[in-house]
Every structure is written in structure tokens, then in C-alpha cells.
Structure 1
């Protein structure tokens, strides 16, 4: 079994300059847990729902109106995303993908096909 047969063929991608609040809305609207960050056709990072929750938790902990406003109106995806994440290739075997996930403790990987997400 190869990754290409299991992956989403036209994944949602976002840019690093997008507001984190907008990215969070995409997670909720599309019921997804991770999204690749692509700028000018190049993979720059990976944003997970967990990244958004950690950022929101920090704001909720302080209960500061200015931090909430910053979180809502200024915090960008590039501020919290995982930069240059590990990737897998569309032609890799699922066994290879699962092995990497187990070794690294990860469950989401951007899939590249000829260098493109």
C-alpha cells in the first residue's frame, strides 16, 4: 500500500501570513486536524489544531483583554506553526509512513508529490 492511495488528493492549504483566528475557523468548518502552510508554492510549515489550542490556552490563562485582541486580530499562522516539518512522499509505503510516525511520535505529515503538496 502506498501513501498516494490513502492521502487527500486536494488538501486545504493556507499561507503563513493568515491570521491564526482565520486558520482556526478553517479547522472548525472543515473538521480537519492539520493543514500544510504553503507560500508561493513552497511548503513552509504545518499547523495543527493543537498549535491553535496552545495559543488560545495561553491567552485564556492570562485573561488579559489586550492579549485576547492580539490573539484575535494580529497573531499569524507563522507565529505558531511548525516550521519545515518532516514530510513523506506520495510514493512511500504506508509501512514507512507509520514507522516514521511511531519513531517521531507524529500523526500528521505533509505529503509531497514531485516537491508539491
Structure 2
């Protein structure tokens, strides 16, 4: 299974000069939490709800809502984006994406092909892949077989045992 099989392919991106308030609206309108930042066709950063929140004044601030909105309209995604962005190739195995996400404790990987962002894969995409692989939404019986000593022909032998039962 490749990353391409489970990534979200219609990735929405923004240029670096995008106002943070615009990025927030794009995320809300599209029900997404992350936006790759693209400059001249190249991935230069990733803006997330978390990076925006980290750059925002705390709730204990004395700023009025108008002052807060003014600040959001002044800041661009360049001011709040993460610039060290881990990526994965669309042709890589799904397991490679899982490994990268766990190793670096991140919830998203922009998916690359020929130097361009072609998709995005998130924790939720990984969970969907797991449900797909386990046929969770399918009627039937799941059989798990543990083979103590693997050898050539073991799957054939298991098939011969199982065939008369079904």
C-alpha cells in the first residue's frame, strides 16, 4: 500500500503573503486543520491551527476582539508557519509515513511527487487505512493465523484446511 492510496489528493495551499485571518477562514470553510505554504511552486512551510494559536495572544490578554482581529489581519502565514516540514513521497509505503509521523511526533505529512505537493496525509488518513485493511466495514469473519515456522507453501496448506469450512 502506498501513501498515494490513502492521502487526501485535493490539497489546499496558500502563498506566504496570505493573511492569517484568510488562512483561518480557508481552514474553517474547508473543515481542515493544516495548509501547506507554497512559494513559486516550492513547499516553504506549513501553517496549522496550532501554529496560529501559538502565535496568537493568550485568552488572558487585555486586547479587545477588534484589536485581536486587527493583529490577525496584519500577520501573514509567514509569521506563524512551521518552516521545518517533514514530507513523504507519494510512492512510498504507508508504513514509511506511519514511521515518520511517529518518529517525529507529527500528525501530518505533505505528500510530494516530482518536487510538487500532490497531497497530504494525516493521522486520520492512517486510521482510515487501518479500517480499510482490516475490512472493518465489511460483513464476514476475520481469521487470524499465527505461523510459528514460516516456509514455502504454508499459505497453500492453510487454504487447503480452510476451503472445506467455507
The alignment's TM-score, normalised by the length of structure 2, stands at: 0.65
Higher relative CO (CA 8 A, sep ≥ 6), structure 1 or 2? 1
**CA 1:116–1:45 in 2, change beyond 3 Å: closer, same or farther?**
same
1:60 aligns to what SS in structure 2? Answer: coil
Q: 1-side partners of 2:58 and 2:18: how far apart?
A: 19
CA RMSD of aligned residues (A): 1.6
Q: 2-side partners of 1:61 and 1:75: how far apart?
A: 20
The alignment's TM-score, normalised by the length of structure 1, stands at: 0.90
Q: Which structure's CA Rg is the greater one?
A: 2
Cα deviation 1:95-114 (Å, max 9, x = unaligned): 01001111110011111011
1:38 aligns to what SS in structure 2? Answer: strand
- Per the alignment, residue 72 of structure 1 pairs with 72
Count residues with an aligned counterpart: 116
Cα deviation 1:38-91 (Å, max 9, x = unaligned): 0111110011111122233x2533222485254232011000100141110001
- Per the alignment, residue 86 of structure 2 pairs with 86
* Kept in 2: contact 1:59–1:71 (CA 8 A): no
* Kept in 2: contact 1:43–1:84 (CA 8 A): no
Q: 1-side partners of 2:89 and 2:69: how far apart?
A: 39
**CA 1:59–1:74 in 2, change beyond 3 Å: closer, same or farther?**
farther
Tell me, which stretches of 5 or more residues in structure 2 are unaligned? 118-166
- Per the alignment, residue 16 of structure 1 pairs with 16
Q: 1-side partners of 2:75 and 2:32: how far apart?
A: 20
1:33-72 residue pairs with structure 2 within 5 A? 33-56=33-56, 58-65=57-64, 68-72=68-72
- Per the alignment, residue 31 of structure 1 pairs with 31
**CA 1:69–1:30 in 2, change beyond 3 Å: closer, same or farther?**
closer
**CA 1:59–1:21 in 2, change beyond 3 Å: closer, same or farther?**
farther
